[in-house]
Structure formats: C-alpha cells, structure tokens
Amino acid sequence: MTRPPSNSQAGKILKLLEDAGGGKVSLPAILNLRISQYSARIHDLRHRFGFVIQNGAEEGHPDRTWFKLVGRNYPATDRLTREMNEAIHRDDSLEARRPPATLFGDISPDRSYRE
C-alpha cells in the first residue's frame, strides 16, 4: 500500500495527523499548511491511500472542526483492481454468458407471419 509523497499536500496533512499521535487536529492547524482544498486531500487520504480519518466538531461549537487519524484500511482501488483481475481470469467469459430471461418470454419477431 502506498503513501502520498511527503512534499505533497496530502502528505503534509498526513504528517500533521500522524504527529498528533491519534489526537485531534484542529481545522485552523490544517489551514496553516496553506492548502486551499484540504477536504479534497483528506478525501484522497481516505479513499486513495486507505487512511481512516474521523472528523467532528467541539460539542456546542460547530465552527471548531477537528480531524483525527484512526488507522488504515485497504483502499477501494486495490479491492476493485483485485475484483476486476479475478473477473478477467475466470473461466466463464462475458461473451459466453446467456442473456437473462425476459419477463415476457421469447420476444423475437415471428418470421412465419405473412400479410
């Protein structure tokens, strides 16, 4: 599993979260990194790199947002790649599969009809 480069925006956010040692990192601390689209980078960390990042706000203060690094999962892209490779290497090819039966039975045109 990969990590973002340490000099990338996602890498800088990850370092900040890791340095907190599982503690909460306030949004102003992330904004101090001068990353304008921090939410996109957190999305990358979650979905591309597989990090589990919780977020929330101080009780009674919805304007005090925080983020916390909890752990790491396999990213969805690895799972999808594995499933696609398994499908490609199965014995039954897509071309060999029968089309599903329709609700109305055989609906092919009747060639015996003449006017």
pLDDT (tens digit, 9 = 90+) per residue, 32-91?
Answer: 999 989 999 999 998 888 899 999 988 888 788 999 999 887 655 566 666 666 666 565
| pLDDT band per the 50, 70, 90 thresholds, residue 23 | very high
Instruction: Give domain status of residue 17, yes or no.
Output: yes
Whether residue 111 lies inside any domain: the answer is no
What's the CA gap between 57 and 30, in Å, rounded?
A: 14
Q: Is the pLDDT of residue 101 over 70?
A: no
User: Regarding predicted confidence, which is higher, 94 or 72?
Assistant: 72
Give the E-state strand segments of 48-101 in sequence order. 51-58, 61-72
Residue 4 lies inside a defined structural domain of this protein: no
- Domain assignment of residue 39, yes or no: yes
The rounded distance, in Å, linking the Cα atoms of 70 and 42 is 13
d(CA 30, CA 24): 11
Within-domain flag for 1: no
The answer to whether residue 37 is domain-embedded is yes
d(Cα 86, Cα 80) in Å, to the nearest integer? 10
Q: What is the pLDDT of residue 87?
A: 65
pTM given for the model: 0.62
In a domain, 67, yes or no: yes
What CATH number did the domain enclosing 14 receive? 1.10.10
Q: What is the pLDDT of residue 49?
A: 86
Q: Which residues contact 63 (CB under 8 A, 6 or more apart)?
A: 57
Query: Is the pLDDT confidence value at 15 over 90?
Result: yes
> How far are the Cα atoms of 106, 107, 109, 110, 111 from residue 115, in angstroms, in the given order?
22, 20, 14, 12, 11
How many domains does the chain divide into?
1
Q: How far apart are CA 55 and CA 18, in angstroms?
A: 15
Residues of the domain holding 37: 9-72
Does residue 42 lie within any of the structural domains? yes
